[in-house]
Structure 1
Amino acid sequence: MTQHADWGTLDPFYEGLAGKVVMGRPVANAGFLDALLRRDPFPRYHFYLESERLAAMQSQELERRHPTLHARGAFVVDTWAALPHALATNRFHAFHLSDCHNRPGPMVRLRNLHAPDIFPITATTHSLSFQEFKRHVLAHLWQGVTPRDCTVCTSRAAEKVMQGYYGWLREAYGLGNALFREPTLEIVPLGVEPKAYLAPDPAEKRWLREMLAAHESDEKVQGGLAIPKDAVMLLALGRVSPGLKMDLLPVVRAVQRLVVKGRDPSSLCLVVAGSMPAKDPYLDLLQALARNIGLTVRRVPRPDEGLKRTLLAAADIFISPSDNVQETFGLTILEAGASGLPVIASDWDGYRDLVASEGENATGILVRTFGRQEQSPMDDAMGSILPGDVHHLRLAQSTAVDVAALARAIETLASDEPLRQAMGRRAHERVTGQFSWDHVVERHLALWDELWTRTVDEDAARKATPPFELPYGRIFGWHPSAKLNGLIVQTSRSGENVYRGREFPQVYADLDGWLPEQALKPLLVLARKPRPAAELVQRLAAAQSLTPEEAERLALWALKHDLLEIVE
């Protein structure tokens, strides 16, 4: 790739991971940015964030993580207010947003207004099922969108969901293809750092379990982490919630089937780790049902990164019977593969891209799922009323993971250590070869290069106005008594004092980058004698290389603060 332009974003990618459960979108975003900066394909990296406080935090985090790049001046960190000037004065190879919720439509509008080049704007999918997302997706559809703008889908499932969104919104709102274009869709998965995970042999696993048993007194580990001797350790890791990830009761029911058929329940141990409340009726119920059949369950709320990776390395089987529509990828599946674990997962959404379940290259077992014959108008309507987690719970409880098939999968892997090891080795090889962050970043670089080759009607894109953008002048422009252009103005006494350095104007902090303060004194000089405001604005714009809008903005501000006055 030719290093001819910079890279930019509206997002920090580093979302304050310290002290938090390092799973899902935050860890994926941080992993992507670290890999991109390690590859270092661009001259500079621009971050435009909501506030100066967030910008300062981002600068510190970039310096801490990437001191060499920071020392070379590779990072530009500023606020959203600086975007128009930054787009006009810098050339960008691409802008990439960490989530397709995060304003790709408005970013396209700003690019079309200010940037000399129609560079690619890309945004990655994560959870797509919450009600507010339809509003974000609606802002994807407008005439200024070009073939260089792309929604990066992390899986075939995410691509199909986005196709469904675009098609449904066009139908529901009567949007034609010509006036309401959509971003293109391309598939690039998320990734992991395979070297960061252990893929131990059986002897190393035994040692790790002895080390985990030392956590008996750790208040975060409920019930301790001593795994029964010779038990096969099943690990479920992620958001532990039947409303936001998966229901683990079918796992207990599957083990119950095996116990009825003669399996000793002490030969299995289920470790449940991840984001969960300290006290949770659901988990208490899960543990009570497991206790009734003799199955040991260990709970590990909010493990830190080190403990999470140790759990993955110590486990024998990774199990994830997801049934929730918010799941579109499954980063924990990759983490399990990097740790050399075979996977038992539901045949569900993005999991199908991550688990090879057939033939000699199988890395795990996908368990079939069952859903509704027809859509439910009642569930759809209640989605706009109920809290998101309640609505997702109801949807998930209408999806059934085949418990009998789940039991067979557990029995197959629990009874065959060589098979577990073989699948685990293949999973590690698959993740290393296809899903490392270095590989994922190369795919993004290739995508951004390819997007530049697509033909764009620049004139049409720049003239287009998006429907999500409220036209304040059109709707509220009749509020003032008169327009500036009809006035005769001159410098006031206060304006003369400012010009001579006897007074100083009061400019609010949030006007930084919006008000061309450097042109204030030239404005006051030009207005020493009465002039038509239209002429004053025109002459100021020409003399100070301002747009007419910027010059008019400054003149109105000066009039507001009594630096200019009206000549009656």
Structure 2
Amino acid sequence: MKKIFGHIYLFDFSSPFLGRSVADREFITALIRFGSFDEYHFFFESETILKDFQRHFADTIAFYAPNKVKTFPLYKLEEQLATTTYTVFHSSDPLIEKLIYLRSNFTIKEPFAITGYTHTLSSRNLSPGFLLTLLQQPQSCDAIICSSKCGQKVMENIFDTINNSFSQAFHQDIDYKGQLPHIPLGITTESYNKVSKDEARKKLGFPAENQIILSIARLTPSSKMDYYPILDVFSRILHEYPTARLVLAGGLSEEKENYLKELQVYAQQKGITDEIIFCPNFEDSYKHLLYSAADIFISPSDNMQETFGITIIEALASGLPVVCSDWDGYKELVTDGVTGYRVPTIMQKSYDAIDNLSLFSLNPSFIIAQYTAVNQDIMTERLLSLMSNDRLLTEMAENAKRSIVCYDWSQLIPQYESLWSSLKTEALLQYTPSSFSLHFSFYKLFSHYPTYHLEDTTVLSITDAGENILANRQELSINLIIKNFLDFHLLGSLLSNLKEKPLTNADLKARHRNYTQDLVESHILWLIKYGAVAYYEKDFRNNFDI
């Protein structure tokens, strides 16, 4: 019997900097190259999307599967389902309710498996789709494949939240009965390390002798990470290594150009403009050169939008030690002290006002990211330890390259095919046709992301930067969006209280009972994020007079 893969191709791969765009394009390329299906059927809503598909995949198809790939207009889908025996229909996102609907309501020649894949899981727009997915009753022959175990946990939290809400309202459970297997994204490892460091720097016009720290990511705090703390850390690095260079490369949309200008102004204020190389919207062909030219890769992501971290495995494949935040799927990609370092993160346990206000067209993952801190001191220490020890740098670089074998697409596609085969068997044995806006707490869904939560026992102290801010010797750099969420009187009061002596979080909140406790904690974390306040876990309490 033929094995046939089905996919409704709706995605636009025009952006080389959108993580999902890159991941989906690489997945389809790898599937065609390494897969063992007899046929691959792709359905298109428009001619424009078909041409986009052909532009990206024509060469791959011609070389690896010239007679296996078939394309159809979307209106042919019903006919194909009635006449073709499909193994699986795969969606490039986790919302599989539409595929379940068409399987249940169209005439099908034979039951087939349905799978989706997780990318960003922090969008409020997903909640109605997940409710519909549960209402469509996924079965044991269906799966939402998770790129990371952290993402897998978020999916479990999402379905538990929906089921609990539905059960309370309607006295009926709508449990998710499908599967949530974990299969990571991949890369083609042979594409990396093809250019020497010297050659790459020469082509890019980078200095030959300087130590280069590289970041490749969307240049936006709203869906990736806040770059102000990176500049703060790099400023400290330059005190020890004044010839170091920081390369910030990535996609930049027109509406985010002001953010880049803000970063450039901030760099100028700190006197580090000449040591930073900005590479917005670089040519796709430059990516491998950037990796080859660098010594260390950094990615202190603080945003729930991140689920996996494709640039992390690209950097590892390029032989770069990675210094990243201890956050999301990064936890699974970087072995701390072996292939790089994971820097501790901290966020508050909950903030009901943000969760509730996010119903009104806010970007909750960005707002929460502004109250999530990556430890600047430890990040600085980890970078300096690599920059000062060539032997350690070389050892981690070799470890990085060895660690990445399991993320090669040639190893991953067989895992997908094994899953699809077992799901197809389940569909043949068990399938029966299937006979609402919800509200999530992001803090609950992503509670396992940070290294620490801000506890009542957490000890807080003012830093030199905080004292400078309090004395008006240093200005705060504030994103225009978050500015509306900050109480400047509260910020000043928090710093003033901590200037007297270190306090526990509980004691500091007790001094500000005229504010909600959530508000106080969010402002404490914002001050931690920007280096004005330092935090210590309860084991350090004896070191302070509190």
Q: TM-score, normalised by structure 2?
A: 0.74
Contact (CA 8 Å) 1:88, 1:115: kept in 2 or not? Answer: yes
2:278 aligned counterpart, secondary structure: strand
CA distance 1:127–1:51, shift in 2 (3 Å): same
Give yes or no for the alignment of 1:80 onto 2:74. yes
Per-residue CA shift, 1:353-381, capped at 9, x if unaligned?
111114xxx10100000000x31111011
Q: Choose from 346, 355, 362 the match for 1:380.
A: 355
2:87 aligned counterpart, secondary structure: strand
Task: Give, as a single letter, the amino acid of the residue that structure 1 aligns with 2:191.
Answer: A
Contact (CA 8 Å) 1:21, 1:274: kept in 2 or not? Answer: no
Contact (CA 8 Å) 1:93, 1:120: kept in 2 or not? Answer: yes
Structure 2 CA distance for aligned equivalents of residues 83 and 150 of structure 1: 21
Deviation for aligned residue 1:250: 1.5
Structure 1 CA distance for aligned equivalents of residues 409 and 65 of structure 2: 21
Task: Give, as a single letter, the amino acid of the residue that structure 1 aligns with 2:114.
Answer: I
Number of the residue aligned with 2:414: 442
Number of the residue aligned with 1:422: 395
Deviation for aligned residue 1:36: 1.2
Structure 1 CA distance for aligned equivalents of residues 427 and 38 of structure 2: 25
Structure 1 CA distance for aligned equivalents of residues 104 and 7 of structure 2: 16
List gaps (5 residues or longer) in structure 2. 438-546
Number of the residue aligned with 1:212: 204
Give yes or no for the alignment of 1:354 onto 2:363. no
Structure 2 CA distance for aligned equivalents of residues 376 and 458 of structure 1: 43
Number of the residue aligned with 2:102: 110
Structure showing greater radius of gyration is 1
Number of the residue aligned with 1:365: 341
Deviation for aligned residue 1:180: 5.0
Q: 248-257 or 284-293: which moved more?
A: 284-293
List gaps (5 residues or longer) in structure 1. 214-225, 469-568
2:151 aligned counterpart, secondary structure: helix
Structure 2 CA distance for aligned equivalents of residues 82 and 173 of structure 1: 36
Structure 1 CA distance for aligned equivalents of residues 144 and 391 of structure 2: 42
Deviation for aligned residue 1:64: 3.8
Structure 2 CA distance for aligned equivalents of residues 179 and 247 of structure 1: 38
Number of the residue aligned with 1:36: 31
Task: Give, as a single letter, the amino acid of the residue that structure 2 aligns with 1:207.
Answer: E
Q: 82-91 or 105-114: which moved more?
A: 105-114
Per-residue CA shift, 1:456-479, capped at 9, x if unaligned?
7757x32x34x99xxxxxxxxxxx
Number of the residue aligned with 1:555: none
RMSD: 2.5
Structure 2 CA distance for aligned equivalents of residues 46 and 81 of structure 1: 13
Task: Give, as a single letter, the amino acid of the residue that structure 1 aligns with 2:357.
Answer: M
Q: Choose from 316, 320, 333 the match for 2:312.
A: 333
Number of the residue aligned with 1:218: none
Q: Choose from 378, 390, 400 the match for 1:405.
A: 378
Q: Map 1:202-281 to 2 at 5 A.
A: 204-213=196-205, 226-227=206-207, 230-258=209-237, 262-264=239-241, 266-277=242-253, 280-281=257-258
Number of the residue aligned with 2:481: none
> In percent, how many aligned pairs have the same letter?
29
Structure 2 CA distance for aligned equivalents of residues 67 and 387 of structure 1: 45
Question: Runs (4+) of structure 1 moved beyond 4 Å?
Answer: 59-62, 68-71, 175-180, 455-459
Structure 2 CA distance for aligned equivalents of residues 107 and 26 of structure 1: 21
Q: TM-score, normalised by structure 1?
A: 0.71
Contact (CA 8 Å) 2:88, 2:424: kept in 1 or not? Answer: no
Number of the residue aligned with 1:27: 22
Deviation for aligned residue 1:52: 4.4
Contact (CA 8 Å) 1:55, 1:78: kept in 2 or not? Answer: no
Number of the residue aligned with 1:8: 6
Q: Map 1:181-196 to 2 at 5 A.
A: 181-196=176-191
CA distance 1:142–1:333, shift in 2 (3 Å): same
CA distance 1:457–1:198, shift in 2 (3 Å): closer
Give yes or no for the alignment of 1:93 onto 2:87. yes
Contact (CA 8 Å) 1:12, 1:47: kept in 2 or not? Answer: no
Give yes or no for the alignment of 1:313 onto 2:285. no
CA distance 1:411–1:36, shift in 2 (3 Å): same
Number of the residue aligned with 1:285: 262
Structure 2 CA distance for aligned equivalents of residues 322 and 49 of structure 1: 35
Task: Give, as a single letter, the amino acid of the residue that structure 1 aligns with 2:400.
Answer: A
Contact (CA 8 Å) 1:345, 1:365: kept in 2 or not? Answer: yes
Number of the residue aligned with 2:49: 54
Structure 1 CA distance for aligned equivalents of residues 64 and 215 of structure 2: 38
Contact (CA 8 Å) 2:224, 2:306: kept in 1 or not? Answer: yes
Task: Give, as a single letter, the amino acid of the residue that structure 2 aligns with 1:78.
Answer: F
Task: Give, as a single letter, the amino acid of the residue that structure 2 aligns with 1:317.
Answer: I
Q: Choose from 389, 413, 423 the match for 1:451.
A: 423
Aligned length: 431
CA distance 1:21–1:51, shift in 2 (3 Å): closer
Contact (CA 8 Å) 2:137, 2:177: kept in 1 or not? Answer: no
Deviation for aligned residue 1:163: 0.6
Number of the residue aligned with 1:505: none
Contact (CA 8 Å) 1:21, 1:303: kept in 2 or not? Answer: no
Q: 37-46 or 52-61: which moved more?
A: 52-61
Contact (CA 8 Å) 2:249, 2:281: kept in 1 or not? Answer: yes
Structure 2 CA distance for aligned equivalents of residues 69 and 194 of structure 1: 18
2:245 aligned counterpart, secondary structure: strand
Contact (CA 8 Å) 2:307, 2:329: kept in 1 or not? Answer: yes
Number of the residue aligned with 1:126: 119
CA distance 1:148–1:252, shift in 2 (3 Å): same
Contact (CA 8 Å) 1:153, 1:189: kept in 2 or not? Answer: yes
Q: 91-100 or 180-189: which moved more?
A: 180-189
Structure 2 CA distance for aligned equivalents of residues 312 and 230 of structure 1: 16
Structure 2 CA distance for aligned equivalents of residues 303 and 282 of structure 1: 17
Contact (CA 8 Å) 2:315, 2:322: kept in 1 or not? Answer: yes
Deviation for aligned residue 1:32: 1.1
